[in-house]
Structure 1
Amino acid sequence: MTTVAGSTRIRKYHLVLIGVAVLLLLMSLVRIISGQNDITSSGTFSAALMLAVPIGLAGLGGLWAERAGVVNIGLEGMMVLGTWFAGWAGFQWGPWAAVVAGLLAGALGGLIHAVATVTFGVDHIISGVAINLLGPGITRFLSEVLYKEGTPAAAAGAGITTSPPLKWEAPTPSLPLLSSGPDWLGSLERTHWFLVSDVAGILRGLTHNVNVLVILAVLLMPLTFFVLWRTAFGLRLRSAGENPWAAESLGVNVYRIKYAAVVISGAFAGLGGVFLVFITTKYVEGQTQGRGFIGLAAMIFGNWRPGGLASGAALFGFADGLQLRSSGGGGAVTSILLFGAILLLIYVGVRIKAMLAPVQAEVAVTRTPKDYTLLAGAVLGAIALLWLWLTVDKLSDELVRVTPYVLTLLVLLVASQRLRMPKADGVRYRRGEQH
């Protein structure tokens, strides 16, 4: 049995490596064809890493809550609370106070959500919507009270929609061997050779002058996996999300587990808000820009697992970084159309091969209308994307800025075919009930 499990892990590991290699080849090919070097430039991937972190932290918050069976769509409101309190405390007492205040504010939002859903049995979606409305409302009220004219904060540059700037810059170390000493990765990137310069640009963007807060946030991904999948506490938490009544029969205090998970969820969302404050060096009203919802989408795309969540956050961060790096007309963004067309053509080829394989083996297989509909949709999608890439020279600034959100919807549409959420996610739990 151990051998089978081990071989399964090896096969999955190999598939991941093969997938990464194919993506690198496709990105390099698209760069060569389109002439858009920003697709794999170090600047794009450095920006993508920074932009992916708050999305990933919000997604981690959703992961902790939903693995315990509590749907948390209030991540956006908890991030908003984190941003305001981080800006307020950071201005007065420094960066570490900003981290603590943002964590506590997000955890407070999580606690409110836990009281409503776990204790009083309020519908999880309704409670989450209430948190999303409550967060901006509370922060605006506090800004009008504490940042009004005549206060020390106003004299330091605060306004109703912004806090005073934080006077602190996080260290930005480089990874030894790859980005220390002579910039050989930068030299390789500037050659624009097929695949070689692409790999060099990606490695340089991910290892050169990386914000120390990014490193700490990235380490939370494997830490979450270890806690939830390798500890007794994690097993109890996941059992509460799969079958809380079975967990209860084994002596698990389901209420306590759910409370802990949702409070930790809020703390992660608040930490994502803290990170946004550190990027801009101050709190600005509306600076979350829906990242809590995108983090939730990344968590769903990742099938409620940290590794998949990290991939989803990286994808959305890349789209956001690419649109920021795109020069007039969004040339680099339009190259995504070509990339999408190629991916759909590969998908069509795989589907056709899978459909023909039983015929070649003379095995009777019944095809459903859904199989042909998916295939036809993929073919039409590939043709449409290719046509758009050939005919559209420039995109309006509005379309360039909306790219990450469109990508969110498209990815969720594709990913929804293979999702498996925790069985008791969103289910109202009451101790002693029989199910």
Structure 2
Amino acid sequence: MSTSTVSAVSAAPKKSARRKLSVPVILLIIAGALALVSLVRLISGADDLTSVGQVSGALQLAIPIGLAGLGGLWAERAGVVNIGLEGMMILGTWFGAYAGYQWGPWSGVALGILGGALGGLLHAIITVTFGVNHIVSGVAINILAVGVTRYLSNFTFDEAPGGSSKQSPRIDEITKITIPGLSDWLRDIQGKHWFFVSDLAGVLGGLVTNLSLLTIVALLLIPATIWVLWHTAFGLRLRSCGENPVAAESLGVNVYKYKYIAVVVSGGLAGLAGAFLAIVATGIYQEGQTGGRGYIGLAAMIFGNWMPGGMALGAGLFGFTDSLKLRGGAENVHAMLLLLAILLMLVVFWQLYKKKYLPAAISAVAAVLLFVWYSFTDEVPSQFVDAAPYVTTLLVLALSAQRLRMPKANGMPYRKGQGK
């Protein structure tokens, strides 16, 4: 019995390891994507696609999505679906803004994490202890978070100077870092608009210009998560709860405890995402400012196949499209039509190689339509510009759906001793 349970717990991690994106593979993907974007920039003349400002803005917009996705990954690796990420982000924005306004930005970060963690704790109590459906619980937390923050704003921010019932006063900034010589040199190279070299300079320049200290902390959480979940005994036990909790229990793992830890950490990361949005990205709390980023973070996690590296790539993609909308508007999004058409043609070749002719035909038709749209127009409607991040989310999930493998026991009810 003991041999079979050991193999049951360890089989899933080995499977995941085969699907794991290694660092060289991720670097190759980034290099290929950058070359493709550079080609589109040269053809379309949209020189802002990979500018320092564009990349810096994309990073700032990707961080909240990535943190929410990382939170979802922690919960779902332990077998708990966390649709409530959006609500936990909302709690993080409000608590982060309140503490940031009262006692400074780093206090806001700490209280934002606590606010999200409380939302995670509530989700854990409802789903793990009482066995309520995970989706129902998550949706309830999203609704509850909106009501709670709206109620609290009425007698806190409404009475503060410069605040109102729907927004907080201005919050002090967290220190930002720029490497003067390197930043200026990279900006100069990017301004020459050379193929690939200028685009690489723009990307690197965006990573060393106006970089908040909290951004650095958020980026470090990705390798930290990889180390904790995949290179420690604690991480193995936590992931076993999401793959086969009955086998994990038979080996002495306290499944309830690990599920609670995972969901509370998940809420804390979502709360940190909300605090980042209020303190770093905007410098102010506003009602509804999360704008569905918790759901997009969940989409980034799914796109990444429940792995931190892939999730980070997904968050970067969504942040990039969001930044295009905010900075360049119609011109940049129009150039993205050409990029999407080229990507779909690559999908066509891949599907033909796999002998999947129907998906290849559908992708080919979509690619032709995008080519025609790009060729016969100079800009896209403003409504499409606003919808670009969400359209990207749908396309990415549709194209990546066939290669996904979530943890086997994800979302399944569990009761102690049920394997006896």
Please give the alpha-carbon distance, in whole angstroms, between the structure 2 residues aligned to 1:173 and 1:297.
30
Task: Please tell me whether residue 58 in structure 1 is matched to residue 62 in structure 2.
Answer: no
Say whether the 8 Å CA contact 2:71–2:266 is kept in structure 1. Answer: yes
Give 3-state SS (helix, strand or coil) of 2:176's partner. Answer: coil
CA contact (8 A) 2:20 2:307 kept: no
Aligned residues: 403
1:376-387, aligned counterparts within 5 Å? 376-387=361-372
Unaligned runs of 5+ in 2: 1-14
- 1:21 is displaced (CA, Å) by 2.7
Once the two structures are TM-superposed, the CA of residue 13 in structure 1 deviates from its matched residue by 4.9
Say if 2:419 is the partner of 1:430. Answer: no
Q: How does 1:71-86 map to 2 (within 5 A)?
A: 71-86=81-96
Aligned to 1:367: none
What is the CA distance between 1:209 and its match in structure 2?
A: 2.4
Please, what is the CA RMSD of the aligned residues?
1.9
User: Structure 1 residue 169 and structure 2 residue 170: aligned?
Assistant: no
| 1:84-123 → structure 2 map (5 Å cutoff) | 84-123=94-133
Deviations 1:92-125 (A, max 9, x none): 1111221121111101100110000000000000
Correspondence for 2:53: 43
**Conservation of the 8 A alpha-carbon contact between 1:301 and 1:415:** yes
- Look up the SS of the partner of 1:422 in the other structure: coil
**Cα distance between partner residues in 1 of 2:50 and 2:282:** 25
Q: Are 1:310 and 2:295 matched, yes or no?
A: no
Q: Does the C-alpha gap of structure 1 residues 189 and 121 become closer, same or farther in structure 2, counting only changes over 3 Å?
A: same
Counterpart Cα distance in 2 of 1:242 and 1:277: 36
Given that 2:157 and 2:169 are in contact with CA atoms closer than 8 Å, whether structure 1 keeps it comes out as no
- Residues 102-152 of structure 1 deviation map (CA, whole Å, 9 limit, x = unaligned): 11110110011000000000000000000000001001111113334xx4x
Measured against aligned partners, the alpha-carbon deviations of 1:160-179 in whole angstroms (never above 9, x if no partner) come to 0011211x22222235xxx6
* Greater alpha carbon shift after TM alignment, 382-391 vs 306-315: 382-391
Identity of aligned residues (%): 56
16-25 or 378-387, which deviates more: 16-25
Q: Tell me, in whole angstroms, the C-alpha distance in 1 between the residues paired with 2:167 and 2:22.
A: 47
User: Distance in 2 between the 1:323 and 1:252 partners?
Assistant: 47
CA distance, structure 2, for counterparts of residue 197 and residue 404 of structure 1? 25
Residues in 2 aligned to 1:236 and 1:433: alpha-carbon distance in whole angstroms = 18
Match of 2:289 among 260, 264, 287: 287
Amino acid of the structure 2 residue aligned with 1:343: L
Unmatched 5+ stretches in structure 1: 356-370
* Offset, 1:182: 7.2
Shift of 1:9: 10
Q: Deviations over 1:224-271 (max 9, x none)?
A: 110000111111100000000100000000001101110110000000
Query: 2:402 aligns to what SS in structure 1?
Result: coil
Q: 1:351–1:398: structure 2 CA closer, same or farther, 3 Å change rule?
A: closer
Maintained 8 Å contact 2:277/2:290: yes
Matching residue's letter, 1:372: Y
Q: Distance in 2 between matches of 1:76 and 1:52?
A: 15
Whether the 8 Å contact between 1:41 and 1:202 is mirrored in structure 2 is yes
Deviations 1:335-384 (A, max 9, x none): 111111111222223343454xxxxxxxxxxxxxxx21111111111101
For 1:412, the equivalent position in structure 2 comes to 397
For each residue in 1:171-212, what CA deviation from the matched residue of structure 2 results, as whole angstroms up to 9, or x when unmatched? 22235xxx6357221111111122221111111112222111
Q: Structure 1 13/69 Cα, relative in aligned 2: closer, same or farther at 3 Å?
A: same
- Indicate the residue corresponding to 1:334 in structure 2: 334
The question of whether the paired residues in 2 share the 8 Å contact of 1:110 and 1:265 is answered with yes
Partner amino acid for 1:212? L
Cross-structure match for 2:4: none
Query: More displaced, 256-265 or 343-352?
Result: 343-352
TM-fit CA distance, 1:41: 1.1
Give, as a single letter, the amino acid of the residue that structure 2 aligns with 1:139. T
Counterparts in 2 of 1:286 and 1:182: CA distance versus 1, 3 Å: closer
Equivalent in the alignment of 1:343 = 343
Is 2:152 the partner of 1:142?
A: yes
Structure 1 position 17, deviation (Å): 3.7
TM-score (norm 2): 0.92
Matched, 1:159 2:173: no
**Shift in Å, 1:303:** 0.5
The answer for the alignment partner of 1:247 in structure 2 is 248
Instruction: Work out whether residues 183 and 205 of structure 2, in 8 Å CA contact, stay in contact via their aligned partners in 1.
Output: no
Is 1:64–1:261's contact at 8 Å kept on the other side of the alignment?
yes
CA distance in 2, matches of 1:238, 1:198: 39
Q: Give the counterpart letter for 2:167 in structure 1.
A: T
Q: Which amino acid aligns with 1:346?
A: L
Equivalent residue, structure 1, for 2:278:
277
Structure 2 Cα separation of the partners of residues 374 and 274 of structure 1: 41
CA contact (8 A) 1:80 1:136 kept: yes
2:259 partner SS: helix
Preserved CA contact (<8 Å) 1:229 1:235: yes
Cα 1:18/1:87, change in 2 over 3 Å: closer
User: Is the CA contact (8 Å cut-off) linking 1:174 and 1:180 kept in structure 2?
Assistant: no
Picking from 324, 327, 344, the partner of 1:325 is 327
Alpha carbons of 1:296 and 1:353: their partners in 2 closer, same or farther (altered >3 Å)?
closer
Take 1:160 and 1:414, find their aligned partners in 2: how far apart are those partners? 42
Q: 1:13 to 1:54 in 2, by over 3 A?
A: closer
Indicate which of 373, 377, 397 corresponds to 1:388: 373
Q: Is the 8 A contact 1:75 1:292 kept in 2?
A: yes
How far off its partner does 1:10 sit?
12
The whole-number CA distance in structure 2 between the counterparts of 1:109 and 1:15 is: 36
